[in-house]
Structure 1
Amino acid sequence: MAKKAEASVEDRLRALYDLQLIDSRIDEIRNVRGELPLEVQDLEDEVEGLNTRLENLGINLDLIDDQIKSKKNLMEEAKALIKKYSEQQENVRNNREYNSLTKEVEFQELEIQLAEKHIKEFKVQIDQKKVVIDENKSRLKDRKTHLKHKRSELDAILAETQKEEEALTKKSEDFQKKLDDRLVKAYFRIRNNVKNGLAVVPIERGASGGSFFTIPPQIQVEIASRKKVITDEHSGRILVDAELAKEEKEKMEKMFAKL
């Protein structure tokens, strides 16, 4: 029974370290992609934002055109009224009616002047918006070109690594099944809380991998005995002996070469 228990703990340590090697390999592949996926997403968002802004600017131009048409219609109506009132002045019976019509003519003339002023202001707005539209179109063209380049880069990397990443992800799931849920949860908890995602590390020169904290000799002996799962008191990482790590690395490298 004792031998079976010892073998079981050793098997779990090997499976844990194998899982770490697989997940580290996946991390390396994703690091090759680096910030590219985020850059592509940012560029896609920027292009979408520029398209929306250009669409809104186009709508604004249409609204201004409608306002200009409205003012021109108002001017035509005012001119028609001026003609009407001027003709009526020729047939008035007294000064009161004449003065009243004169005021109406003057009011319509003011309406025409005000409409002309507004039309000039609207045309200035149109010119300003056209400048902004040209700037945004230029930027949109530049961003689209940049996005196409970045997408091409990302697609090339994905084409090279996607098959391997998918195979490794499947292997990671398979190796997780070799472990009980408690160990898997502990592994991912540690992995998420340490640098480089290294949850399982070997002893290197008397210290846990990637750490400057020395492991006491007695603890090193216990780790080498492979009778229980031991964690580093400083980093929380699960520790394995150097010989086990070497054996598993050689085994996993052969597996990686076949993917």
Structure 2
Amino acid sequence: MAKIKEVTVEERLRALYDLQLIDSRVDEIRNVRGELPLEVRDLEDEVAGLNIRLEKLLISLEATDSEINGKKILIEEAKALIKKYTEQQKNVRNNREYNSLTKEIEFQELEIQLAEKHIKEFKAQIEQKKEVIAETKERLKERETHLKHKKGELDAILAETEKEEQALIAKSEEYKTQIEERLISAYGRIRKNVKNGLAVVPIERGASGGSFFTIPPQIQVEIASRKKIITDEHSGRILVDEELAKEQRAKMEKLFSKL
């Protein structure tokens, strides 16, 4: 039976730092995109909202036009009735019939006045709605132009970085399989809890990279010996010596240049 190769602490540290360099590169790519995807989504929502608002305003405008047409028809019908009742008054047999027709005429005249008042109100509403429609159309045009510009920016960045990002994500998953689950869990937890997602950092000028707290000389010696995994007591980051970091950075730069 073949003997399973034992992974040394140094190999674990190198693998962890490689993983950190890959994930940091993905972070850099996403930082370049910044808030653009969110801006584009917000603009798309705003444009959709303005289109819905414009549609509702136009429907409301049509409804108000219909109301005016309805009132105009009512006026014509009332005028026709007034003419009819006026003609009938010429042939009445008594005052009661005459007065009854007079009341009908007065009622129709009031109907005309009320309809004319409503038409005036509806016309004022139409003017107001037309102003809002014009403003909405202008706003919509401006937002659509802005959205087109932002989409262009995002598409350009995606075209430039998407392939590399996907390749890096695949590499990250590949490297994770080379590290035991316990360390991957710790690495992921630290990345979430520290600034810039730096879970594995080198010693730089006697201090922990990323937090800048001085590391005691004895601890630095232990880190350089690569015999055990040591974390920064202040930030919880996993520490590697500067020489190891330098070697792995050179190795990963070659990998990145091929992606």
Tell me which interval the TM-score lies in, with the shorter structure as reference length. over 0.9
- The SS at the match of 1:125 is helix
Structure 1 partner of 2:80: 80
Matches within 5 A, 1:42-53: 42-53=42-53
Give deviations 1:141-174, integer Å, cap 9, x for gaps: 1211221111111111111111111111111110
Give the structure 2 partner of residue 138 of structure 1: 138
In structure 1, C-alpha distance between the alignment counterparts of 2:159 and 2:172, rounded to whole Å: 21
Aligned counterparts of 1:78 and 1:185: Cα–Cα separation in 2: 84
State the shift of 1:21 in Å.
0.3
Question: What residue is the counterpart of 1:248 in the other structure?
Answer: 248
Quote the Cα distance in structure 1 between the aligned partners of 2:244 and 2:157: 33
Q: 2:168: which partner in 1?
A: 168
Q: Deviations over 1:83-131 (max 9, x none)?
A: 2222222222222221121111111101101101111111111111111
Partner Cα distance (1:31, 1:68) in 2? 57
Which segment drifts farther, 152-161 or 218-227?
218-227
Contact in 2 for aligned 1:72/1:115 (Cα 8 Å) = yes
Identify the residue that residue 188 of structure 2 maps to in structure 1. 188
* Superposition map of 1:54-203 within 5 A: 54-203=54-203
Q: Does 1:215 align with 2:215?
A: yes
Q: CA deviation at 1:248?
A: 0.6
SS class of match (1:202): strand
Judge which range, 161-170 or 37-46, deviates more: 37-46
Separation in 2, partners of 1:107, 1:11: 100
TM-score normalised according to structure 2 size: 0.93
Tell me, yes or no, if the aligned pair for 1:15 and 1:179 is still in contact at 8 Å. yes
1:209-247 Cα offsets, whole Å, 9 max, x none, are 022321222222222222222211111111111111111
| Structure 1 segments (4+ residues) deviating >3 Å | 4-7
Q: Which amino acid aligns with 2:51?
A: N
Structure 2 alignment gaps of length 5 or more: none
Q: Tell me if structure 2 keeps the 8 A contact 1:26–1:165.
A: yes
Partner residue, 1:233? 233
Q: Tell me how large the CA RMSD over aligned residues is.
A: 1.7
* Structure 1 stretches lacking a partner, 5+ long: none
Cα offset, 1:74, TM superposition: 1.6
1:239 counterpart SS class: strand
CA contact (8 A) 1:6 1:227 kept: no
CA distance in 1, matches of 2:114, 2:100: 21
Separation in structure 2 between the aligned mates of residue 254 and residue 136 of structure 1, nearest angstrom? 53
Structure 1 position 36 matched with structure 2 position 36? yes
2-side partners of 1:254 and 1:19: how far apart?
14
Please, which moves more after superposition, 38-47 or 116-125? 38-47
Distance 2:212 2:9 in 1: 27
- Counterpart of 2:239 in structure 1: which amino acid? L
TM-score normalized by the length of structure 1: 0.93
SS at 2:21 equivalent: helix
1:6–1:226 Cα contact (<8 Å) kept: no
